[in-house]
Structure 1
């Protein structure tokens, strides 16, 4: 079991330590934080098509929890090195669980479920950037992100039933993202889903054509555009807006919810950032959180 240390005494130390922990290119997960507070987690198990095992799951949970505790983080990018985003769970790892006890098997499955939960509830905006395959559990990671950008050659698949398995831990997030009707089709058929279909059913938001030579930089340009849009917004309001989406999900619009939302807007409009945003609008100036936050694609390299 890997041991991690997190120094939470100061923001600068947190950022430096998080970067240093994933400095080695041999790590299964790389983590970087730029000067604007944009964090990037990169799946780096390229020889296995970024298929994840227990160690990779543990690393992802660690970094997501660590980043959530850093106050100046503004956005999280989830990316992958290599040709494919991820082939899903490592089948050798899955097969090895047959030698484990029932308790160990359940604990292992709960770790994957926990990964989905911590990514889904990450307090800041999350953007998944997909190329190549996103199969099985990797599709669950995508469904837990707020925004998904995919290259035009990307393919998606809920492939579990082909192997006698089911997409259990990712199921709730998949059903929420694409709806039960589409989920029933693709969970039962294990068909491959191309980028256009994935966009149609709500699995991804944006498609970037990177096949033509002239379009190779479009993906990074699109990421820059999205992250800049996020940096232009109030950090506190972004967290509250994301939390509001979770609260409203599957909730009846009743007196309880109406009261909650009324109190929410009443509180935030008199908050420090709420007043700063309104003052900046009337003063025809940029709010304080926009200062020195111009994004460069070079910062992510």
Structure 2
């Protein structure tokens, strides 16, 4: 069993939980692999009707985990060396594409922070329910990194102007602001997420499985018209992580200090 990615089944509904409370469910490689394998299996499961993606212990996801990349931060490649960061980062792009291609309804249930890659996961959902205490952000550019793999999905979900606001400014949004932005579909009081989710699932299970899956295929055809940027995004992320800005930005973040490019107070 994948300890950081857990699956529970109840009839035609599966609950997929990002489960690494110590990191606020940061998207480590084992978690990403677990999520990807679950999507591949679900695509063939005709008895599965709805997937609920959520996070454990008061967080959805703090975003991508850089722990495995620590030794590469700020380190240029040697001549002729292939970059192992590229396939790792591209794998998260594969997850985003696979989530969008699910024939089942995908519901994201958010209670707490949804940052970076976690924000990107929400952009793949058919319905996002969040509590009022939840907070949303794509802070990558403030850390010296591009929001590479999530950018096309944020753009598709929010449209060009709002995606630029999120991705190029690294702003943070409250639950109410995220609903106004179009990221959150349903905002509920703290402590009411379970009740709201059950009510939404009851409505969703009234849909005819075949008709719903067919409708999602048609919508996916529209999404497929957008360029596939997985390779370019992975290269951009790897280059940034090995460049001079990422180590400076990440060090400043760890010390709770402003990065060197921020205005002096």
CA RMSD of aligned residues (A): 1.7
Query: Would you say the 8 A contact 2:133–2:175 is kept in 1?
Result: yes
Of the two structures, which has the highest relative contact order with CA contacts closer than 8 Å and spacing of 6 or more? 2
Aligned equivalents of 2:70, 2:130: Cα separation in 1:
30
Aligned equivalents of 2:180, 2:93: Cα separation in 1:
27
Q: Which residue of structure 2 aligns with residue 84 of structure 1?
A: 59
Query: 1:241 is matched with which residue: 212, 215, 234?
Result: 215
Q: Which residue of structure 2 aligns with residue 111 of structure 1?
A: 91
Q: Which residue of structure 2 aligns with residue 31 of structure 1?
A: 7
Higher helix share: 1
Q: Which residue of structure 1 aligns with residue 259 of structure 2?
A: none
Report the alpha carbon displacement of residue 250 of structure 1 after superposing the two structures with TM. Answer: 8.4
Q: Which residue of structure 2 aligns with residue 282 of structure 1?
A: none
Number of residues of Structure 1 aligned to a counterpart in Structure 2: 220
Task: Summarize the Cα distance change of 1:246–1:67 in structure 2 as closer, same or farther, 3 Å threshold.
Answer: closer
Q: Which residue of structure 1 aligns with residue 262 of structure 2?
A: none
Report the alpha carbon displacement of residue 249 of structure 1 after superposing the two structures with TM. Answer: 4.7
Q: For 1:206-285, what aligned pairs fall within 5 Å after superposition?
A: 206-210=186-190, 216=191, 218-249=192-223
Which SS does the other structure have where 1:106 is aligned?
A: helix
Aligned equivalents of 1:95, 1:49: Cα separation in 2:
18
Q: Which moved more, 1:101-110 or 1:53-62?
A: 101-110
Q: Normalised by the size of structure 2, how large is the TM-score? A: 0.79
Choose 1 or 2 for highest CA Rg. Answer: 1
1:154 aligns with 2:134: yes
Q: Which residue of structure 2 aligns with residue 143 of structure 1?
A: 123
Aligned equivalents of 1:97, 1:109: Cα separation in 2:
13
Q: Normalised by the size of structure 1, how large is the TM-score? A: 0.70
Q: Which residue of structure 2 aligns with residue 295 of structure 1?
A: none
Report the alpha carbon displacement of residue 231 of structure 1 after superposing the two structures with TM. Answer: 1.1
Query: 1:61 is matched with which residue: 21, 33, 36?
Result: 36
Report the alpha carbon displacement of residue 122 of structure 1 after superposing the two structures with TM. Answer: 0.9
Task: Summarize the Cα distance change of 1:102–1:193 in structure 2 as closer, same or farther, 3 Å threshold.
Answer: farther
Aligned equivalents of 2:113, 2:66: Cα separation in 1:
16
Q: Which moved more, 1:235-244 or 1:89-98?
A: 89-98
Aligned equivalents of 2:15, 2:186: Cα separation in 1:
19
Gaps in structure 2 of 5+ consecutive residues: 226-265
Report the alpha carbon displacement of residue 116 of structure 1 after superposing the two structures with TM. Answer: 0.7
Query: Would you say the 8 A contact 2:62–2:113 is kept in 1?
Result: yes
Gaps in structure 1 of 5+ consecutive residues: 1-20, 211-215, 252-301
Output one character per residue of 1:259-286: Cα deviation in whole Å (capped at 9) or x when no partner. xxxxxxxxxxxxxxxxxxxxxxxxxxxx
Output one character per residue of 1:110-143: Cα deviation in whole Å (capped at 9) or x when no partner. 1011011111111110000011110001100000
Report the alpha carbon displacement of residue 197 of structure 1 after superposing the two structures with TM. Answer: 1.1
Report the alpha carbon displacement of residue 39 of structure 1 after superposing the two structures with TM. Answer: 0.6
Task: Summarize the Cα distance change of 1:67–1:113 in structure 2 as closer, same or farther, 3 Å threshold.
Answer: same
Q: For 1:178-217, what aligned pairs fall within 5 Å after superposition?
A: 178-210=158-190, 216=191
1:121 aligns with 2:95: no
Task: Summarize the Cα distance change of 1:116–1:125 in structure 2 as closer, same or farther, 3 Å threshold.
Answer: same
Query: Would you say the 8 A contact 2:112–2:134 is kept in 1?
Result: yes
Aligned equivalents of 1:92, 1:249: Cα separation in 2:
32
Output one character per residue of 1:223-256: Cα deviation in whole Å (capped at 9) or x when no partner. 11111111111100010111122224587xxxxx
Q: Which residue of structure 2 aligns with residue 294 of structure 1?
A: none
Task: Summarize the Cα distance change of 1:226–1:112 in structure 2 as closer, same or farther, 3 Å threshold.
Answer: same
Aligned equivalents of 2:209, 2:61: Cα separation in 1:
30
